[in-house]
Amino acid sequence: MKKNYRAVAVSAMARRELHSTLFGFGIYIAIAIGLFLASFLLYNYVGGIQENGMMIMPSSVTQTRYYGSNLPAVEPMQVPLKWAVYIGAIYITLSASMAISREKDQGTLEVLFYGPVDSVSFILAKFVEQILAFAVILLFYTAYFLTMSQISNFALSSGFVRMLLLSLFLAGCMAAFGMFISSLSKRVKTSVILFLVLTIVFLSVPLIHGLLMNLSDDEVKGAWSVARKTTSYLNSIINWVSPFAYLERGSTAIVLNSTSEFIKSLFFSLLYTVALLFGSISIFKRKGVRR
């Protein structure tokens, strides 16, 4: 297929899918859940500051100044944004994980391939649509945090801007991961189950590993020792195969104010995305378009 035809096909399919997404309820439910979680975290943060007898004063620079006896955590807006981004990213992954299998279930995939559509243009169109949908989610998040910044006097620092940039790369990882799941499945139900299982594993193993690592060496004996070694091994694998790990890596770099680590996290996120897209295209070509 010629490149210009492929670009036209990608653009047309991406616009069609984005139109369907924006006129559906799913994306707005995800936005509402993300904003509710962010509001809850901000409410708790402000409540904690008030209980400690501190005041929040706006700063003329990109950092909020606190006045009180104790120093609170830095970047108060970053954590709520991070968890809101998690919600948006999970929605994107779920949507992407059904992208191919849903077309197969509905029988529309074969019809598309009678036109100027091939495996590359189809996968890229689905991927582009997911990124655009996540950009819409980010617009809502940005408007919300700009408003809350004015209300709460919490400044939006450079770390907040970096988190927004990082979240776009995370969306690429999540969308590519979802497309990869969908390319492996022939049914929507299979895609959803696989998505849920992997998401639970990716989020729970690092949490369990962290809890086990906090135990003293005297407490870790017998089965606990085996569990710690097992979760350590699984966690080292998940750090590379889980799309969530790339957000954690990047957010850690932001907290440490390490530009080199931040750029490195963006690079590996991009590499992860490209690798999974190539994998999806390869699997899709091999399996074909028939149900």
Nearest to 265 by CA among 243, 250, 245: 250
Q: Tell me the sheet residues that pair with 56.
A: 66
How do residues 65-112 score in pLDDT, each as one tens digit? 433 444 344 567 888 898 999 999 999 988 888 877 777 666 666 666
Task: Provide the domain limits for residue 130.
Answer: 3-287
Characterise 115 by phi-psi region: left (phi > 0), alpha (psi -120 to 50), beta (else).
beta
Q: What is the pLDDT along the chain (291 residues), one digit of tens a residue?
A: 455 677 877 888 888 888 888 998 999 999 999 999 999 988 887 776 666 655 454 443 344 443 344 434 456 788 889 899 999 999 998 888 887 777 766 666 666 666 667 788 888 988 999 999 999 999 999 999 999 888 877 777 778 888 899 999 999 999 999 989 988 887 888 888 988 899 899 888 888 888 877 776 666 666 677 777 888 888 889 988 999 888 888 888 888 888 899 999 999 999 999 999 999 989 888 876 555
In angstroms, rounded to a whole number, what is the distance separating the alpha carbons of residues 133 and 22? 8
Question: SS3 of 66, please?
Answer: strand
First to last CA, the chain: 23
CB atoms within 10 A of CB 126: 24
For the full predicted model, state whether its pTM sits above 0.75: yes
| DSSP letter string, 183-247 | HH-SSHHHHHHHHHHHHHHHHHHHHHHHHHHTS-TTT--THHHHHHHHHHHHHHHHHHH-HHHHH
Q: Spell out a b/e string for 176-210, using b for 16 or more CB atoms within 10 Å of the CB, else e.
A: bbbbbbbbbbeebebbbebbeebbeebeebbeebe
Number of domains in the chain: 1
Residue indicated by tokens 């074909």: 288
